[in-house]
Amino acid sequence: MTLAAQSFGTASHPAILLLMGSTASMLGWPDELCLELAAQGFFVVRYDNRDTGLSSTYPPGPPTYAVEDMTGDLLAVMDAYGVGQAHLVGMSLGGLIAQIAALSSPSRVMTLTLIGSEPLGWDGEPLPHIVPAFLDHFSKLAGMDWSDGPRVRAFLLKVEQLCAGSGRPFDAVAAGARVDAVMTRSPNLASAFNHGMVQLRDDWTGRFREIKQPTLVVHGEEDSILPVENGHALFHGIPGARLLVLPGVGHELPPEVIGKIVVTGWLRSQRTADGQHAPLSTAHR
């Protein structure tokens, strides 16, 4: 197993591990965000989940690994960089991995920032999940010719569009550049969609309620993959969690907002945290 990773900043500074979501490589964390976090005094590490980017990939199809194995990958990356403890910032599936790490290796997790994620072992009434438009689009995967570059690009660009919220006009040029970068750097792009079938191996029912690390839940109000009710469930279930709902934001990562939240609005505030179980508020611009 090979895991591709990249670091920013000084290794002796407090560490932030960036965990990207399903099908996404480390490029989901923009360079600008990583550099900003490093400039604020953090040692930042992003990495490709297995089956994405330059990490090891498996043949397309149901994966033989579980989410717990992907959590082991996170800890292996930390070990490789000599990071004993870290702030974990997880997007979507990355947030699920972060919750498992917080419960299975609590001494290694300082805080959690869960972006567009869902509760680990949800035990309440069913929560809404992916909207029909996404399911319709993903149904095209069965007939995808991965050697047809323009067709693959169009498919991925549509994913970007479906993830976007209404808070700003969809920037097809910028999204296209992101897609091009991913395609250039992903020799086995089809394997990334194995993540859509990855399962939990163990019974985690209700376990997210046992998380003790300081936790910030960030969720787009217009998330079409994991609707905002998932963020509310995390907030109400994790003791002392804070909640930040971003109006006009979908299942996406606005770097100028996330950088400010993670650095000035959250991690640094832990030095004077009052422990109040109250929502944060912000305007997404």
- pLDDT above 50 for 224: yes
What CATH number should be reported for the domain holding residue 35?
3.40.50.1820
Residues that are catalytic = 92, 223, 251
Inside any domain, residue 179: yes
Q: What mean pLDDT do residues 11-23 have?
A: 96
At 122 the pLDDT is: 98
Q: How far is CA 266 from the centre of its chain?
A: 17
At 270 the pLDDT is: 67
- Cα angle vertex 153, ends 117, 24, to 5°? 25
What number of other Cβ atoms are within 10 A of residue 120's Cβ? 27
The number of domains in the chain is: 1
CB 111 within 8 A of CB 216: yes
**Assigned token pair, 85:** 């403890």
Inside any domain, residue 66: yes
- pLDDT above 90 for 7: yes
d(CA 71, CA 46): 14
CB 72 within 8 A of CB 56: no
**Assigned token pair, 254:** 């606005």
The share of the chain scoring above pLDDT 90, in percent, equals: 87
- Cα angle vertex 112, ends 248, 134, to 5°? 40
Inside any domain, residue 279: no
At 263 the pLDDT is: 62
- Mean pLDDT, rounded, of the chain: 92
Inside any domain, residue 104: yes
Q: What mean pLDDT do residues 154-180 have?
A: 96
138: helix, strand or coil: helix
Amino acid at 29: W
* 184-196: pLDDT as tens digits: 999 999 999 999 9
Full domain range(s) for residue 144: 5-272
At 253 the pLDDT is: 87
178: helix, strand or coil: helix
**Sign, CA torsion 184/71/280/38:** negative
Inside any domain, residue 284: no
Q: What mean pLDDT do residues 72-98 have?
A: 97
CB 78 within 8 A of CB 101: no
DSSP 101-117: HHHHSGGGEEEEEEES-
Q: What is the DSSP letter of 266?
A: I
d(CA 244, CA 250): 13
At 282 the pLDDT is: 40
At 266 the pLDDT is: 81
* 37-70: pLDDT as tens digits: 999 899 999 999 999 999 999 999 999 999 999 9
Half-sphere exposure of 164 (CA within 13 A, CB side): 15
- For residue 70, the cross-strand partners are none
Query: Looking at 32-36, 100-104, 230-234, 254-258, which range is the least confident one?
Result: 254-258
Inside any domain, residue 229: yes
Half-sphere exposure of 251 (CA within 13 A, CB side): 28
How far is residue 113 from each of residues 22, 168, 266, measured CA to CA in Å? 17, 24, 9
Q: What is the dihedral of CA 232, 49, 181, 88, to 10 degrees?
A: 50
Inside any domain, residue 282: no
**What predicted TM-score, i.e. pTM, was given to this entire model?**
0.93
pLDDT band at 153 (very low <50, low <70, confident <90, very high): very high
- pLDDT above 80 for 180: yes
At 143 the pLDDT is: 92
Inside any domain, residue 285: no
